[in-house]
Structure formats: C-alpha cells, structure tokens
Amino acid sequence: MAYCTNCGSHIPEGNRFCPNCGTDNGAPAAPARENAAGGTPGGYRANIKKRDIAVAIILSVVTCGIYGLVWFFNLVTDLNTAAGDTDDQTPGVILLLSIITCGIYGWIWLYKAGEKVDRIKQSNGEAPSNSALIYLILAIVGLAIVDYALIQSELNKVAMDA
C-alpha cells in the first residue's frame, strides 16, 4: 500500500496521483515494504494535526460544550483522513443524525470509529484491541468524552508532527 505524501490518503496501486487531493506523488505507487510486525517501516503517518487531549477536554467544559463540537468536527475529519476514508460521512451529517435519533446514531458512529482505529493500529503493525466495543460501552454509560480522548490519543500517534 502507498500513501499520499501530501494528505496521507491511500493511493491505489499503480496510480501516480492522489485520488483525494490530486498531488503528484512521482512514479506510480507501489506497495510499501512491510516490516516484521506487518506494518510499514517507521509506521504509517497521516497528514493530521496533533491535539492536546487535556486542553480539548478543559476547553469543552469551560465553553459549555461549544469547543467540544469543534473538537468533534476535527476528530471525525482526522479519523477519516487517517483511515483513508475521506469519502465517509462528514461531521455535520453524523451530528445531525445523532440529534435526530436522540444520540443513538452517535453510538453507532463511535462503534464504526473503533473499527477505523483498529485498522489504523493494524497498518502500524499493532494488534487491534476491539476498540469498537470499548467505545460503544463507554458511550452507552455516558462517557463519550472518554471515547473522544481515546480516539484523539490514537490519532496523535499517527499525526505527521508526532
């Protein structure tokens, strides 16, 4: 597998241009060499911003949840980028469906987010940890902000400026 040097999206084998941002990545993309752990040398890196989890939580509380929405929008966008699912649902759609379903769709999205986190872990040669089930259980008991922190922690591991 090859990834775009600009946005970190997956480039199908044999393509020269990134299907997400159009960046010319030189010669046609070839599958990346895998290390002994099954990941690419040095691990996969996505073109996303590393965010401080404690600051995000504090700002979410201080602003009565307003910054929490900003964090959620960035989290969804970064997770889609890191997982190579740039055509997946937008944060606005997820938020709207969550409101319409009284939060149930938010649980579904967190489950899917856990599956994406496990795919990202596998691309880095780590063993998946059944994040989807953990995120779902935490959300059901009212600890979705813990899910956001766990997702952000995984995204920080693959951020380019890590």
What sign results for the dihedral spanned by CA atoms 6, 69, 131, 55? positive
Bigger pLDDT: 57 or 37? 57
Q: Is the pLDDT of residue 41 over 70?
A: no
Q: What is the pLDDT of residue 141?
A: 96
Percent of all residues in the chain with a pLDDT value above 70, rounded to a whole number: 85
What's the average model confidence in pLDDT over 55-73?
94
Q: Which helix (H) or strand (E) holds 100?
A: helix 91-100
Q: What is the pLDDT of residue 14?
A: 67
Q: Is the pLDDT of residue 122 over 90?
A: no
C-alpha distances (whole Å) from 76 to each of 1, 6, 27, 32, 81 are 23, 19, 31, 26, 9
Is residue 141 classed as helix, strand or coil in its secondary structure?
coil
Q: Is the pLDDT of residue 40 over 50?
A: no
d(CA 30, CA 46): 18
What's the average model confidence in pLDDT over 26-45?
46
Does this model's pTM top 0.75? no
Q: What is the pLDDT of residue 123?
A: 83
Mean pLDDT, the chain, integer: 83
